[in-house]
Structure 1
Amino acid sequence: MRHTLIIILTLATLTVSAQKNSLKGTVKVNNIPLAYATVALSGTKHGTTTNDKGFYELKNIAPGEYTVLFSSVGYYTERIKVTISNGAITTLHAELKEGNSKLNEVVVTGVSRATELRSNPVPIVVLSKKEIDQHVNNNIIDAIVKGIPGVTAVTTGPNISKPFIRGLGYNRVLTLYDGIRQEGQQWGDEHGIEVDQYGIARAEVIKGPASLTYGSDALAGVINLIPYIPNGQDGKLNGDIITDYHTNNGLIGSSLGLSYKKHDWKYAFRATGKMAHNYQNKVDGYVYNSAFQEYILSGMARVDKKWGYSQFAVTTYNNKQEIPDGSRDSLTRGFTVQVAEGVNDDIKSRPFAPQKWLTSYGVTPLHQHIQHYRVYNKTEIKLGEGIFASALGWQQSVRREYNHPTQPGQAGLYVTLNTLNYDLRYSPKVINGWETSFGVNGIAQTNRSKDATDFPIPDYNLFDIGSFLFIKKSVGKADISGGIRYDTRNINWGDFYVGANPVNGFEQKVKANTPGGKLQFPGFKHTYHGISGSLGLTYNVSERVLLKANIARGYRAPNITEIGSNGLDPGAHIVYLGNRTFKPEFSLQEDLGFIAYLKDADLMLEVFNNQISNYIYQSRLDDANGNPVIIVPGNTTYQYQQSKARLYGAEFTFNLHPHNAKWFELNNSAAYVIGLNQNEKLIAQSNGAAKDLPFIPPLHVRSEVKLKLQGTYGIFSKVYFRAEADAYATQNKYYALNDTETLTPGYTLINAGIGSTLKAKSGKTICEVFLQADNLFDVAYQSNLNRLKYFEYYNASPDGRSGIYNIGRNLSFKVIVPF
């Protein structure tokens, strides 16, 4: 591999062209400059966005004939052919027409080259910054859940959301940050995504196996969070200030973004801070220990040259998140505070949480402290008409979970995860319409326990590598693409002993020969292998109507907690028991899609069938008498199981936007998935209690009416009003064995919002304002994917309600001030 890299880089040096050919011009709508429109050369990596005056420029283009794509959300894409001559500066202007089609948007996730969405047979959805901004959220995953049918999230309070795609989650959904896979202890229920929601310019979501270009952990799909890359006026400092406030939990969010562009260099910086006190609902009142504090810094420098580009970026994330445990008074249902441990702890005698704690922005001693650091580089080098691309990164995730009230400074869980990311790929010249790409990527990872008292997973070493080949060609009205991949993953750890800590009275990691030490994790070493691939077709019935079909085989190696866990995760209040004999998961998924972006309406129907072998899932553990197994008092015990499984379902979208009534929109979507456990023996033994898979969302229907006022009203322009009904059906198909899950009643949330852009007389934007009301009628509800639903100490309660409920009515206000 080292010699290959040397050869490639040498060739890059020898073949760099000295051409200074460029393409420039303006993009307008109704003769008005359009800012931030996308300009790209089809089939190449050349692309940019227009500045605030609608101007663009593409430099260092090889001579030849190209098709230039001009696109922007809310407008129809314009295609113009152009010939670039040697040593020439070519001028090309474009005029876009208003429209709602997204088919011609250019995507970068899961493809060899930047590709129009219409030609990709894999189900992929794009969420723009405008759409993210219009839905005020606690985190970026919540924005994606609201905007994309088929995507849901397991939550542990308002600030922790783990994405699920079509009923599959955890390590089956691969989250990327700017194309670099996010690594940060994804195995836990209460482990969220360590990303700045205010710094994301775009989210691209693949629904279905995406193992071809990413390898293991993309079995359910990919969420690529793409940060903002500045493209403002040359030599001028640009930026924005974002202020966000929520009434329910008092969330205060502030973010400052700065960008600067000078000649070939671009720089960006963002600082974000968020804090919130405990959230509330009308059943629980304030939910004790759900407050959080979050601080994020990020910086980027990028240089664009005739040979390509190179981009360097750094991010730091610091989060303190309280840990709710559901401790209550048995009669009043008021939340109580654990002040003692072991035999000295009587849950019925715990004191009530003081009122001032419930609305305090401070963080209690029982909390998680998560720090995530990332440094990475992305480089593209032009080799003639081919492209060599590399992505190299380092990440460190430090997680502490404090759960000892008598010794608040002593972490129960303290783990440090170090990850090296690498991705090398080459896309040769397009020959006779054949686009190809091949490469190698993976990770090297180590995880180490520090000064802790609980050890749910061993100290492990992991090395992952995979190679792939991707091919695409257009034949008449059909776009065909597919490829094949081979992966190998080695994971190992040595004997892991624990023993008594005389200093604090808890357990600690000890050496093998320590008197009284016990072996918690016997040594383990195994290598997993997997072959994955896909083949798909998009048929262009017309410019606006498409048929899509795709079949894909996905692969996922078992994660560390599934094969190695044997201890308490304090933040989840769960003792996990793994199984080191587990085999890798393999899925075979078929997708069919019909998409029509018509003049007055959008119509999309996607159906899928997913057969998974060696599916791994959690199940609560009971003893022979049917009583829950309690290894650590006050915490439930889960044991991982493995069996065949099948998931199938559909997503449907119907958006009405009459051409003759531009002020009106009616947006509707529905998503439904069935998850079946195919372990016939277990189903028979449990009298059908195990027939459904856990964590499957119910039927979800969303309907939104949006009114957009045309014209301007003083300083107000682009004024809109929206009202939304968000309905979840009763989930009576659940994994009932040992009460792992229980029935979840259906509910409907009514949301409303208003927004506007404020402009000065000169036409310059002053700010954007968004006012939103979620759960307007303060419905008391529990999502079936809310893990707090199961945080309950008693078998019965005076009000007949069990567990913790989701957030109640919330009014939010957000202002974005550009400069």
Structure 2
Amino acid sequence: MKNIFLLLFIAVTTFSYGQNSLNGQVKDESTNQPVVGATVYISKLDIGTITDLDGEFSFQGISNGTYNLLVSSLGYSSRTRSIVVPSKEALEIILSPSAIEMEEIIISTPFHQLQSENVMKVERATLEEISRTGAINLAEGLTQIAGVESITTGTGIGKPVIRGLSSNRVLVYTQGVRFENQQFGDEHGLGISDSGVESVEVIKGPASLLYGSDALGGVLYLNPERYAPVRTSQLDAGFTYNTNTEGIRTNAGFKASSNKLKFLLRGNYEVHSDYKTGNEQRVTNSRFDEWDLKTGVGFRSGDYHGDLRYNLNASKTGIPEEIGLQSTSKDVLEPYQQVQNHVLSLDNKFYFDNSSLDVKLGYLFNDRKEFEDHHEHEHEHETDHEHGEEEEHDEEEVHEEHGEEAALDTHLETINYDAKYHFPRMGDFETIVGVQGMFQNNKNFGEEILIPDASIRDFGILATTHYHLDNLDIQAGIRYDNRSIDSESFGETGHEGFIPAVDRKFNSFNGAFGVKYDFSPAFVTRINLATGFRAPNLAELTSNGSHHGTNRYEIGNASLKNEQNYQLDLALEYRNEHFEVFTNAFYNNISNYIYLNPTGEIIDDNNVFEYVQNNAEMYGGEAGLHIHPHPLDWLHIESTYELVIGKQENGNYLPLIPAQSILNTLRFELGDQKWLSESYSFISLKSIFEQNRTSIFETETAGYSLLSAGFGTSFSIDTTEVQLRVSGKNLLNETYISHLSRLKTDEIPNMGRNVSLGVKVIL
């Protein structure tokens, strides 16, 4: 490790730098007039600007080298142009008018390109788009992305599912670093607030080449809020109310930037009562509250860009078990979780002549406490009055008597690093080599444990290259990973609950190869073949005890092997000024798939499940249509379909596979009208089919349809902008149970009608 950082330091201090300015103008192809407000972005340097009233732009302090300049503006086709710095003359960029929506930069793939130019298909959604749906949390909002669903425990806990894979098979990145929060647990939520997140990118399929172990099923990449433009500042505050949970959310932020320094600070607090089902019953102890603080300091000087960010997320979430006490109290009952996540990240970018070095460092601390159920007597005092004095008094008594000691108290400490060197461009080739690693320690302080005290060490090395021609792009790469797991024993040999020490090492070679071919400017195809792996986690290797959050007794298997998979992905896309259509099919073969299997035994009144392995396969895909007829550019008709089928080698279906679904949306983007701006409205219907392809310990789930609608607008008072938003989900108050709900076994329905009212003020 010391040698790695020594080499990085020597590299930084021995390269010479060059400083240049870059100027240009953006024009309309049909009128030859300047394009005002166009976004001009240099992906390698991660800097951007906006054209002025003359369509002109300027960058200062640019090192010698070859860069991709990405130019985009609403109403025009986005364009990428390769430039060489220093440039002897000002650039002239010509944009073609288009009714197709403006493209954004993809950050999660290594070459930072427009999606239309990317070899790998990546789904992207802004938090503004997600918030318009009225989702209560980020995990719920992600289900609007085709191929993404969520495993839920009430409204406070949600885990992303990508094409049927979840938990440790989906890797989450936040602030540019790998996020670790004991994500193996079924009832362990995402642990990240959408506050201070600008956009979400989803890689569907094995991404071990770029991210290593646990990216076997895909990657959820959260892009943090951007700093304010140079020499500007912004203050904003928002408030949201949810009718179903009587939940409130307050959010405020400030950011400012000078030529070299940038700063931002954002705080968020939200609290919810028990949610109400479609039959007007509240689900006892589904209440939760969450605090979130994000801050960042950016520095840019010549050939160095630094970004230091910190996030504290603290939540207290009830674990619902029944429909009992009817209350709108927001005081969490036992059993509940109390979780704190600390994320400190430092992103360093060093720019040399024609090359660059990107070094990301992260420190994460997860403090998880779980409090067991000691309030059996409270349900003897149930009442039909939601605001009755008696029930509120009962809840207070429960907390006073039983809120002291956590049954489970676990600290997970993680340090990770990611260094990538971008070689000088050689003709049409771009090449990157890198190293990634992680140091992780788990410590227990409670009387119960889920996983023993242990240390995990990861190291990976990778190389990837991209070859670009006018109509053809090829990307390929290879990677080697090593993971070591060393855990301590727990308990006494021969006694119930004894966990022996584990000392295992796991190794894997993985690769990826992809081709994008443009049959025409409107018709594009992508073919990708990638392999991925996942080392067994501590729970799968060492469990031996009752897991109260899931109501089962779990037994691990210290002899488990790597999960290893390969996936073939085929994507076809056609787009013109009137409509877009796409289809994306995949086949995923997984060797040594790890899953829980019921043994038929009962220990401590819990059914016993043991971790076993079997080969498995998954296949399916997504298809969609987006109609935006010209000149009715404000009208959007969208429809997406998704299907996943998962089977073991013995023919049994895999558990927790999402049901087929169709999402139809009618959207109106009305833009600026008189004193209103950015006005929009939508109505959508999501139809979920019956799920009868179930594992041997699952029950079938009936189909249902959920109607949603919303509208929003903004207006200005002097220099103050006010944004208003109203959205409703499950407007017909359907009583339903999702196949991915962990409350399904107790026959507890999901949330009924919810209307979200939001206002935001920007100064």
* TM-score, with length taken from structure 2: 0.91
Q: Which residue does the alignment assign to 2:355?
A: 386
Separation in 2 of the partners of 1:97 and 1:572? 55
- Contact 1:404-1:411 at 8 Å conserved across structures: no
Residues 75 and 171 (structure 1 numbering): CA distance in 2 closer, same or farther, change over 3 Å?
farther
Separation in 1 of the partners of 2:428 and 2:163? 34
Structure 2 matches for 1:475-486, cutoff 5 A? 475-486=469-480
Q: Which residue, 726, 730, 735 being the options, matches 2:686? A: 726
Q: Which residue does the alignment assign to 2:749?
A: 805
Note if 1:814 corresponds to 2:740: no
Q: Which residue does the alignment assign to 1:426?
A: 421
Q: Which residue does the alignment assign to 2:7?
A: 7
Structure 2 matches for 1:645-794, cutoff 5 A? 645-678=616-649, 680=650, 691-709=652-670, 711-713=672-674, 715-735=675-695, 737=696, 740-760=697-717, 766-790=721-745, 792=746
Residues 654 and 14 (structure 1 numbering): CA distance in 2 closer, same or farther, change over 3 Å?
same
Post-superposition offset of 1:38: 4.1
- Contact 1:386-1:428 at 8 Å conserved across structures: yes
- Contact 1:260-1:266 at 8 Å conserved across structures: yes
Separation in 2 of the partners of 1:547 and 1:370? 44
Summarize deviations over 1:484-511 as a string: whole Å, max 9, x none.
Answer: 111111001122127xxxxxxxxxxxxx
Name the aligned partner's letter for residue 545 of structure 1. Answer: F
Structure 2 matches for 1:186-201, cutoff 5 A? 186-201=183-198
Residues 288 and 48 (structure 1 numbering): CA distance in 2 closer, same or farther, change over 3 Å?
same
Post-superposition offset of 1:214: 0.6
- Contact 2:66-2:425 at 8 Å conserved across structures: no
Give secondary structure in 1 for the equivalent of 2:128. Answer: helix
Summarize deviations over 1:707-741 as a string: whole Å, max 9, x none.
Answer: 2336514x322322211110100000000x2xx21
Q: Which moved more, 1:765-774 or 1:290-299?
A: 765-774
Post-superposition offset of 1:409: 1.4
Give secondary structure in 2 for the equivalent of 1:521. Answer: coil
Q: Which residue does the alignment assign to 2:143?
A: 145
Q: Which residue, 554, 558, 562 being the options, matches 2:532? A: 554
- Contact 2:64-2:354 at 8 Å conserved across structures: no
Q: CA RMSD in A?
A: 2.6
Name the aligned partner's letter for residue 131 of structure 1. Answer: E
Summarize deviations over 1:344-388 as a string: whole Å, max 9, x none.
Answer: xxxxxxxxx2x4xx2012222432100011111110111321111
Residues 579 and 303 (structure 1 numbering): CA distance in 2 closer, same or farther, change over 3 Å?
same
Q: Which residue does the alignment assign to 2:467?
A: 473
- Contact 1:173-1:219 at 8 Å conserved across structures: yes
Name the aligned partner's letter for residue 812 of structure 1. Answer: S
Note if 1:209 corresponds to 2:169: no
Q: Which residue does the alignment assign to 1:367?
A: 336
Give secondary structure in 1 for the equivalent of 2:10. Answer: helix
Name the aligned partner's letter for residue 459 of structure 1. Answer: D
Post-superposition offset of 1:601: 0.5
Name the aligned partner's letter for residue 359 of structure 2. Answer: S
- Contact 1:16-1:307 at 8 Å conserved across structures: no
- Contact 1:185-1:417 at 8 Å conserved across structures: yes
Separation in 1 of the partners of 2:67 and 2:541? 52
Separation in 2 of the partners of 1:532 and 1:479? 21
Q: Which residue, 260, 263, 266 being the options, matches 2:262? A: 266
Q: Which residue does the alignment assign to 2:321?
A: 325
Gaps of 5+ in 1: 327-333, 336-352, 499-511, 624-628, 684-690, 793-802
Name the aligned partner's letter for residue 345 of structure 2. Answer: Y
- Contact 2:78-2:95 at 8 Å conserved across structures: no
Summarize deviations over 1:588-635 as a string: whole Å, max 9, x none.
Answer: 110111012211011110000011100011233313xxxxx2x233x4
- Contact 1:101-1:597 at 8 Å conserved across structures: no
Residues 637 and 579 (structure 1 numbering): CA distance in 2 closer, same or farther, change over 3 Å?
same
Give secondary structure in 2 for the equivalent of 1:438. Answer: strand
Post-superposition offset of 1:323: 1.3
Summarize deviations over 1:12-39 as a string: whole Å, max 9, x none.
Answer: 223241414244668999989866x642
- Contact 1:51-1:232 at 8 Å conserved across structures: no
Q: Which residue does the alignment assign to 1:17?
A: 17
Q: Which residue, 400, 405, 409 being the options, matches 2:404? A: 409
Q: Which residue does the alignment assign to 1:460?
A: 454
Residues 518 and 645 (structure 1 numbering): CA distance in 2 closer, same or farther, change over 3 Å?
closer
- Contact 2:76-2:95 at 8 Å conserved across structures: no
Post-superposition offset of 1:117: 1.7
Separation in 2 of the partners of 1:458 and 1:4? 31
Separation in 1 of the partners of 2:321 and 2:49? 48
Summarize deviations over 1:52-100 as a string: whole Å, max 9, x none.
Answer: 98986433223467552112577521345666447x8957677674533
Give secondary structure in 2 for the equivalent of 1:209. Answer: coil
Name the aligned partner's letter for residue 284 of structure 2. Answer: Y
Separation in 1 of the partners of 2:446 and 2:63? 57
Structure 2 matches for 1:476-625, cutoff 5 A? 476-497=470-491, 520-623=498-601
Name the aligned partner's letter for residue 710 of structure 2. Answer: G
- Contact 2:595-2:611 at 8 Å conserved across structures: yes
Gaps of 5+ in 2: 375-400
Name the aligned partner's letter for residue 472 of structure 2. Answer: A
Separation in 1 of the partners of 2:617 and 2:155? 31
Give secondary structure in 2 for the equivalent of 1:99. Answer: coil
Give secondary structure in 2 for the equivalent of 1:580. Answer: coil
Q: Which residue does the alignment assign to 1:348?
A: none
Q: Which residue does the alignment assign to 1:251?
A: 247
Note if 1:395 corresponds to 2:355: no
Residues 611 and 66 (structure 1 numbering): CA distance in 2 closer, same or farther, change over 3 Å?
closer
Q: Which residue, 638, 641, 660 being the options, matches 2:609? A: 638
Post-superposition offset of 1:425: 1.4
* TM-score, with length taken from structure 1: 0.85
Post-superposition offset of 1:754: 0.9
Q: Which residue does the alignment assign to 1:342?
A: none
Separation in 1 of the partners of 2:655 and 2:616? 11
- Contact 1:275-1:294 at 8 Å conserved across structures: yes
Identity %: 29
